[in-house]
C-alpha cells in the first residue's frame, strides 16, 4: 500500500509508439508537465503491458513508483486511461511491491549471462529435437530428466502471463511462491509442475546440449545454447507498481482465477 500522506506532483511520462499513446503523451505532458525520470516523483507509462515491462526493467533499480495507463492492446498491468485529475489519482493509488527473478545462464563457451525477469524465466528447445532437462531445487535433484519443449519459472505477478498459457497455476501476488511449470511435457507425462518457496534456488541443466540445444529467456533477454541456468527471486530489488483503489494487481489476479 502507499505511505500515509503520499504526494506525487513531479511526473515523468513515457509512451509506446502507438498513435493513442503518443496523443496521450502530448496531452498529459502539456497539462501536467514532463520531468526527467531521474527528477520525477513518479513515472507514468502510457501503452500496453509490453511498454510497462520495458519501463519496469529500465527503472527497476531506482525504486521509483510506476503508474501505467492503458493506451495499448493487453493492459493487465495498467490502469484505465483518463486525462483529468491525474495528480489526485496518483496520490490515492495503492502500491504493490513485486520482486524480479535473476537468471544466471552458462552457455556452451562457459560464459555466464545475468538477466532479470519480472514475469518469468523460460527454457526452450532450440531445434526440432525435444529438450532433455535435469531440474534441481536448492542443490537437490528433483527431476532427473524432463523431456519437453521446455520449462519455466514464474513470479506471482507473471503467473497469469505465459505460465497460465501453459496451464501453470495462478499465484496471488502476495504469496511467497514461485511456479515451476513444464512446457508441452512428454516425459514424465503426468508431471504438471510444482509450487516452490520464493527463496528456492532452481537449477536447470541441459542434457546432451550438443544434440538438443536449449535457449534461456528472462522476459525478453535471450541466451542461446545454454548448458545450465540458475534461477532465484531477487528479494533485494523491490518494484513499486501503482494501481487505482479497487483495481489492484491482487484483485486482477484473483479475477483471473474465477475467469473474469
Convert 24-57 to b/e letters by CB count within 10 Å (16 or more is b).
Answer: bbeebbeebebbebeebebbbbbbbbebbbbbbb
Judge whether 234 counts as a catalytic residue: no
Query: What is the DSSP track for 109-149?
Result: TS-EEEEEESSEEEEEE-SSSPEEEEEEETTEEEEEEEEEE
Identified catalytic residue from 26, 41, 49, 84: 49
Q: What pairing do the DSSP bridges indicate for beta strands 42-47 and 11-15?
A: parallel
CA angle 208, 106, 183 (to 5 degrees): 60
Cα three-residue angle 54-217-197, rounded to 5 degrees: 95
Could you tell me the CA-to-CA distances from 224 to 55, 151, 155, 214 in Å, in that order? 25, 15, 22, 7
Report the DSSP pairing between strands 131-137 and 140-154: antiparallel
What DSSP character marks residue 72? Answer: S
Active site residues: 49
Amino acid at each position: 500500500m502507499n505511505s500515509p500522506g503520499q504526494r506525487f506532483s513531479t511526473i515523468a511520462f513515457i509512451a509506446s509508439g502507438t498513435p493513442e499513446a503518443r496523443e496521450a503523451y502530448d496531452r498529459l505532458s502539456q497539462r501536467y508537465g514532463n520531468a526527467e525520470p531521474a527528477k520525477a516523483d513518479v513515472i507514468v507509462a502510457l501503452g500496453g503491458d509490453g511498454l510497462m515491462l520495458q519501463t519496469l526493467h529500465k527503472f527497476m533499480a531506482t525504486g521509483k513508483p510506476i503508474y501505467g495507463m492503458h493506451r495499448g492492446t493487453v493492459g493487465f498491468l495498467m490502469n484505465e486511461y483518463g486525462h483529468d485529475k491525474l495528480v489526485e489519482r496518483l496520490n490515492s493509488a495503492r502500491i504493490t511491491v513485486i520482486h524480479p527473478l535473476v537468471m544466471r545462464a552458462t552457455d556452451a563457451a562457459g560464459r555466464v549471462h545475468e538477466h532479470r525477469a519480472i514475469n518469468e524465466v523460460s527454457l526452450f528447445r532450440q531445434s526440432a529435437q525435444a529438450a532433455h532437462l535435469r531440474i534441481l531445487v536448492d542443490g537437490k535433484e528433483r527431476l532427473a530428466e524432463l523431456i519437453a519443449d521446455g520449462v519455466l519459472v514464474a513470479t506471482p505477478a507473471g503467473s497469469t502471463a505465459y505460465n497460465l498459457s501453459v496451464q501453470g497455476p495462478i499465484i496471488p501476488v502476495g504469496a511467497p511462491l514461485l511456479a515451476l511449470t513444464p512446457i508441452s511435457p512428454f516425459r514424465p507425462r503426468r508431471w504438471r509442475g510444482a509450487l516452490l518457496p520464493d527463496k528456492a534456488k532452481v537449477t536447470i541443466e541441459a542434457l546432451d546440449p550438443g544434440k538438443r540445444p536449449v535457449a534461456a529467456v528472462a522476459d525478453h533477454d535471450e541466451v542461446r545454447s545454454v548448458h545450465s541456468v540458475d534461477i532465484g527471486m531477487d528479494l533485494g530489488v523491490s518494484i513499486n507498481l501503482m494501481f487505482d483503489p479497487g483495481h489492484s494487481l491482487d484483485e486482477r489476479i484473483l479475477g483471473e482465477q474465477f475467469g473474469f
